Amino acid sequence: MYDTTQQNRLLELTRKLLRTDTLPETAHTADELREVINYHDWRYYVLSEPVITDYEYDKLFSFLKQLEGKHPEWQTPDSPTQRVARGLTEEFTPVPHLVSMLSLENSYNEADLYDFDRRVKEFIRHETPEYCIEPKFDGSSIALIYENDRLVRAATRGDGIMGDDITNNAMALSSIPLRAAFSKYGIYRVEIRGEVIIQRHIFEKMNEERRARGEKVYQNARNTASGSLRTKDPNETRARHLEAIMYHISYAEDPQGNDLLASRLTTHYQCVQILHDCGFKTPLRELRVCRSVSELQDVIHEWNERRHTFPIDTDGMVIKVNSLRHQQVCGSTAHHPRWAIAYKFAARQAHSKLLKVEFQVGRTGAITPVAKIEPVFLSGVTISSISLHNEDFIREKDIKINDTVIVERAGEVIPYIVGVVEALRDGSQVEIEFPRNCPSCNSALVKPAGEAVWRCDNADCPAQTEERLIHFVSKDAMDIEGCGKETIASFIQLGLLKSIEDLYRLPYEHIRKLEGWKDKSVSNLKNGIEESKKRPLWRLLHALGIRHVGVTTSKDVAAHIQSIFDLERMSIEQLMAIEGIGPKVAQSIYDFFHQPANIRLLHELKKLGVNTENKPEHTAAKNNKLQGKTFLFTGTLKNFTRARAKQLVEENGGRLLSSVSANLNYLVVGEDAGSKLAKAQKIPSIQIISEEEFLQMIS
């Protein structure tokens, strides 16, 4: 990136700028400061070899900030001061990738590698393939776009086609240059891919600090990295010491729009060299070029050991065909490129002893057995409890208390009991007694035919109430900030919370006097709860914790109702008329809204100020002629298109439904109307009108 001559000049310049406390107030000085700060960022974040102290760096940075503050006209968009200056991200907008981010096919053994090699050779016919092999970093994928050498966009992987725009957060990562000299290679526009990671020692330190503050420790580095990339505050992202390692050029064009991956650029290795030279952190030092499967195996064996001491978590190796021309010949399936494969290291297993089994009550009353084991350290985390799923799982694996169990964790978050080592049984093993009564409220447990899970049916079961409350306040539900698991557990213990509606009757004056509460945390809690009263209807529906009703179903249902109480009157057939709702879900919703306790809860919530109505989130209504009325169009319309019809309804304050149900007020019938008309004729409350009558309503 910087050759020796450049580095000497920049070091000389650094010394000059640091020599005095009063720098000349000129645009030129601002340029000089930006240049040296970028250089020191690269030394620090990419090479990990800083040549000035943090104090000196801070001094340069604050000089620049002062200058740019006084003379905003001197500030440039790619100035290092802009890394966190853009403020909070309200929402991560979905954006399309220039080239789909396909996932790699996984392989687990050497036979898979020979298979891969054979397939590649079939594609490229008589030529001998060359492979690049590099460690597979266990982080969060990211795609960056540079135009005219400037970072213009950063996105998460998302579903591979669309990712979330996280540009502001990516700018906060000092290992991502805001300006990179791609133009040196004739590249005007480029999309590059990589992984955002947290080094293992930094991750451990973060957890140590959290433990010391009594906070919950993070599960693993990968999830923490991806979570940190998506916090709404770029400062927060910066504080978590994320690093981006870029390892792939997925798209490159010159100023005329020519595809450079099909012309000037020839190998993957060359692409990584370019990234390295443009100032990115890359796996160039770890990258090996191999000409045979046996050479690849040597590298894999080396890394199978080396990964334990390597500062970044790796869960395997990535093997890519080196020649870009060969890559193109191989092409991709709908899911994977055919020119690359991931080799996964074998899952790590450990032995431990099953000490006891605890039975947890979920929010729907399901009883889950949880194994408490002697703590074992596996793939970077200490494991002391593992879900045993259900009674069948225990019987099938013949797991007993005091058994030696084999615990596995394959890069995934959730550890798993593979089985028991029968040879190590010493006669002290005892059967796991599955309770017949709820461990929380002692009600008799029931197991519906065809289900594997025992449940507690008591609606007032305290353990269920706790889980229901935790679900109610969670991010995907009512999203109540300042009210976590621990808060709920302690409020229940103190008798402040006995049910969901109690959340809206909390005695704040009393809480203020409790240990561990300050004015600030009480007001955060209060704000969070007050804010939640205004949430859209689907959130309340999801928060109720109805079985089988997740976020998507909640949104589907909410779009078809005016008020949550509409669901009290809807039949199973009407519910099933909603797109996406099957018989199981419909039955579950029906059951929920036919339990008097649930309806009482909803009336109580409404009285306490919680939104139970479907309020349009943005009202573009020009007038209110159709306010509160619902419409559906069927048949061939002669006066307007469907899109225009929808627009007319909305502009006049009405709402469009997508199917015939009891909530429909007007069915507007065009020519050749079919099943919808027949269906609507059976529901007396629906008025069937013509296009002309509809037009009269809005004229």
Burial class (CB in 10 A: 0-12, 13-18, 19+), 33: buried
> Which CB sits closer to Zn ion, 17 or 461?
461
Cα-flanking dihedrals φ and ψ of residue 142, to 5°?
A: -145, 150
Which region among 153-161, 304-312, 456-464, 604-612 touches Zn ion (by CB under 5 A)?
456-464
Q: Minimum CB separation from Zn ion for residue 444, in Å?
A: 10
Report the residue number, 75 or 440, with the smaller CB distance to Zn ion. Answer: 440
Q: DSSP states of 227-250 as a string?
A: HHHT-S-HHHHHHTT-EEEEEEEE
Cβ at position 357, least distance to Zn ion in Å: 17
First to last CA, the chain: 68
Which residues are CB-contacts of 279 (< 8 A; sequence separation ≥ 6)?
A: 1, 42, 46, 177, 180, 181
> Residue 316 phi/psi, 5° resolution?
170, -165
CB within 8 A of 196, min separation 6: which ones? 139, 140, 141, 142, 173, 225, 226, 229, 242, 243, 244, 245
Give the binding-site size for Zn ion (rule: CB under 5 A): 6
| Residue selected from 225, 299, 376, 461 as contacting Zn ion according to rule CB under 5 A | 461
User: What is the smallest separation between the CB atom of 585 and Zn ion, expressed in angstroms?
Assistant: 25
Distance set, CA 522 to CA 84, 210, 315, 605 (Å)? 29, 22, 43, 21
418 vs 444 by CB, closer to Zn ion: 444
Comparison of 7 and 364: residue with beta carbon closer to Zn ion:
364
Cβ-based nearer residue to Zn ion, 408 or 467: 467
Structure tokens at 203: 């991750």
Residue 361 corresponds to which tokens in the numbers above? 């009550």
Q: Cα separation of 289 and 320, whole Å?
A: 10
Site for Zn ion in 586-605 (CB under 5 A): none
What's the angle, vertex CA 551, arms to CA 548 and CA 554, rounded to 5?
75
Candidates 49-57, 291-299, 303-311, 460-468; binding stretch for Zn ion (CB under 5 A):
460-468
- The region of 399-407, 461-469, 611-619, 679-687 touching Zn ion under the rule CB under 5 A is 461-469
Look at residue 174 and give its three-state secondary structure: coil
Q: What is the largest CA-CA distance in the chain?
A: 88
What count of other Cβ atoms lies within 10 Å of the Cβ of residue 86? 13
Contact pattern for Zn ion over residues 392 through 431, marking x by CB under 5 A: ----------------------------------------
Residues 94-123 that bind Zn ion (CB under 5 A): none
- x/- contact string, 428-447, with Zn ion (CB under 5 A)? ----------x-xx------
How long, in residues, is the chain?
A: 699
CB nearer to Zn ion: give 352 or 458: 458
Q: Considering the complex, state which of residue 222 and residue 363 has its C-beta at the smaller distance from Zn ion.
A: 363
Beta-sheet strands, E only, within 273-427: 288-290, 314-321, 340-344, 348-361, 367-378, 381-387, 404-409, 416-420
Beta strand pairing call for 162-164 and 131-137: unpaired
Provide, rounded to whole angstroms, the least separation between the CB of residue 542 and Zn ion. 23
Q: Does 557 bind Zn ion (CB under 5 A)?
A: no
Residues between 609 and 668 with contacts to Zn ion, criterion CB under 5 A: none
Q: How far is the CB of 367 from Zn ion (least distance, A)?
A: 9
CB contact at 8 A, 280 and 47: no
- One-letter amino acid at 203 equals F
- Cα separation of 433 and 112, whole Å? 43
- Give the shortest CB-360-to-Zn ion separation in angstroms: 11
Residue number with CB closer to Zn ion (368 or 562): 368
Taking the complex as a whole, how short is the minimal distance between the CB of residue 316 and Zn ion, in angstroms? 44
Q: Which stretch binds Zn ion (CB under 5 A): 160-168, 200-208, 269-277, 455-463?
A: 455-463
Question: CB under 5 A: which stretch of 114-122, 453-461, 629-637, 669-677 binds Zn ion?
Answer: 453-461
The region of 60-68, 205-213, 459-467, 508-516 touching Zn ion under the rule CB under 5 A is: 459-467
Kindly tell me which of 438 and 500 has the beta carbon lying closer to Zn ion.
Answer: 438
Residues 165-168: contacts with CB under 8 Å, at least 24 apart: 165/92, 165/93, 165/94, 165/95, 166/89, 166/92, 166/142, 166/229, 166/230, 168/86, 168/87, 168/89, 168/234
In 10 A of CB 84, how many CB atoms?
A: 18
- Least distance (Å) between residue 453 CB and Zn ion: 14
Residues 6+ apart with CB under 8 A from 662: 566, 569, 570, 574, 683, 685
Smallest distance, Zn ion to C-beta of residue 438, A: 3
Burial class (CB in 10 A: 0-12, 13-18, 19+), 233: middle
Among candidate residues 59, 70, 121, 136, the one labeled active-site is: 136
* Structure token pair of residue 344: 């996964």
Q: Decide if 136 is catalytic.
A: yes
Output 196 or 461, the one with its CB closest to Zn ion. Answer: 461
Q: Which of 265, 287, 456, 586 touches Zn ion (CB under 5 A)? A: 456
Residue 467 C-beta: closest distance to Zn ion, Å:
11
Interface positions with Zn ion (CB under 5 A): 438, 440-441, 456, 458, 461
Residues serving a catalytic function are 136
